[in-house]
Amino acid sequence: MLRELTIGALARRTGLSVSAIRFYEERGLIHPGRNAGGQRRFARSDIRRLSFVLIAQRLGYTINEIAARLAGLPDGRVPDADDWQVMAEGFRTELDARIALMQEFRDKLDGCIGCGCLSLKNCALYNPEDRAATKGVGPRYLLGDRPAPIQDTPAPRAL
Amino acid sequence: MLRELTIGALARRTGLSVSAIRFYEERGLIHPGRNAGGQRRFARSDIRRLSFVLIAQRLGYTINEIAARLAGLPDGRVPDADDWQVMAEGFRTELDARIALMQEFRDKLDGCIGCGCLSLKNCALYNPEDRAATKGVGPRYLLGDRPAPIQDTPAPRAL
DNA sequence: GTAATTGCTCAAGTTAACTTGAGGTCAAGA
DNA sequence: TCTTGACCTCAAGTTAACTTGAGCAATTAC
């Protein structure tokens, strides 16, 4: 039984594409070694690592966020159960918060359906102030959590 | 009190940028009229419409998905409470499913933390087969729900 | 009536997360 | 040994969701 995996083998084991794995390396999610011929050689623990990446992505985390979480794992040695546990706990906390927020939104939506208020100033879902108050939560392409908008009005032209 | 809103006014009311509103029109989320001079004029109900868009986005829906949902609203007339209610109900169902899935994931993660198994073949989170089974749920850049990967190996070169 | 503000169009740029392609190298087996 | 199939690098393309910029028109304020 081989101790190391080629990129193709890792792709088959994780369901990822070869190019995605190379990309993940570039973004710092995995750090494969190289053989004499310059080809990547992956540790078996990288399967786990990539599985974690996939799960986290499904939950809405960006690659950068995932990289930050993975940074908690030892890089020199193969991560053991304790390493994973520590990391997964922080992850779980965030997940709980995220679920709570979705439920909150759902309940608000329920309220709005019940009273048919989706148009009222005091509707929690509708209210822009409210949105500002709950920022930093949703899915990911809310990148940087939408900075102050209302632009348009090009810079004063010189001359 | 003015019956119609300029794009700037709508931007202030929704917190969106002017360019984003124009973009949303292009993508079919709103259908403003035009005044004699060719400037956009929005109905007050468009504030609600855009609020809905913002909420849905936070929950991970893509613009296309939101457009599809909004298509359920009457376009000729201003949507009333009933219109919104019908639409919101379908939305709520999806939301429930999404929340349930996140909880399921969290519970699985819990199990993995508890047993320290994140490496085991039978771990629900870790298992690729399992991933395939739960597809179509997570956040959005899982666009098209990742088609069969493992490419790389350029087409056979002719000659 | 004229200057400042707001709006318009259209093209191009941006970020995330990858994929595709070109051109060339390694490795495994008959 | 030589032929494939698996790899490698690097540049460019792709999609979503917008933003930015240029150049110009309509409104509004004084």
- Residue-wise pLDDT tens digits, B82-114: 776 777 777 778 778 778 877 877 777 766 654
**Predicted local distance difference test score (pLDDT) of residue B77:** 62
Q: Are strands B33-34 and B40-43 parallel, antiparallel or unpaired?
A: antiparallel
Q: Which residues face B42 on adjacent strands?
A: B5
Distance, CA of A149 to CA of B123 (rounded, Å): 44
Who has greater pLDDT, A140 or B16? Answer: B16
Who has greater pLDDT, A143 or B44? Answer: B44
Domains of chain B with bracketed CATH: 4-108 (1.10.1660.10), 110-148 (no CATH)
**Nearest CB to B149 within list A17, A52, A106:** A17
Distance, CA of A97 to CA of A91 (rounded, Å): 10
Please state whether strand C lies within 7 Å of residue A55 at its CB atom: no
Who has greater pLDDT, B120 or A97? Answer: A97
Q: CA of B53: which chain A residue's CA is closest?
A: A126
How close does chain B come to A131, measured CA to CA in Å?
A: 8
Q: With an 8 Å Cβ cutoff, are A116 and B20 in contact?
A: no
Please state whether strand C lies within 7 Å of residue A38 at its CB atom: yes
Give how far Cα B76 sits from Cα of A54, A60, B72, B91, Å.
44, 37, 12, 22
B82-105: buried (b, 16+ CB within 10 Å) or exposed (e) per residue? Answer: ebbbebbeebeeebeebbebbeeb
Give the mean pLDDT of B125-154. Answer: 39
**Predicted local distance difference test score (pLDDT) of residue A2:** 54
Q: With an 8 Å Cβ cutoff, are B128 and A51 in contact?
A: yes
pLDDT at B130 over 50: no
Please state whether strand C lies within 7 Å of residue A139 at its CB atom: no
Taking only residues 59 to 118 of chain A, the set having a beta carbon closer than 8 angstroms to any beta carbon of chain B reads 59-60, 81-82, 84-85, 88-89, 91-92, 95-96, 98-99, 102-103, 105-106, 109-110, 112-113, 116-118
Distance, CA of A49 to CA of A29 (rounded, Å): 8
Q: With an 8 Å Cβ cutoff, are A102 and B57 in contact?
A: no
Q: With an 8 Å Cβ cutoff, are B17 and A85 in contact?
A: no
**Nearest CB to B58 within list A84, A128, A138:** A138
Q: What is the pLDDT along chain A (159 residues), one digit of tens a residue?
A: 557 999 999 999 999 999 999 999 999 999 999 999 999 999 998 988 898 888 778 767 889 988 888 887 776 566 667 766 777 777 778 778 778 877 877 777 766 554 545 443 445 554 444 433 333 323 333 222 333 445 555 444 333
Edge-first strand order for the sheet with B40-43 is B4-5, B40-43, B33-34
List for chain A the helix, strand, coil content (%; round to 5): 50, 5, 45
Q: How high does pLDDT run on average in chain B?
A: 71
Give the mean pLDDT of B132-144. Answer: 31
**Predicted local distance difference test score (pLDDT) of residue B151:** 52
Q: Which of B83, B119, B131, B151 to mutate to test the interface with A (most CBs of A within 10 A)?
A: B119
* Nucleotide at minimal C1' distance from the B155 CA: C21
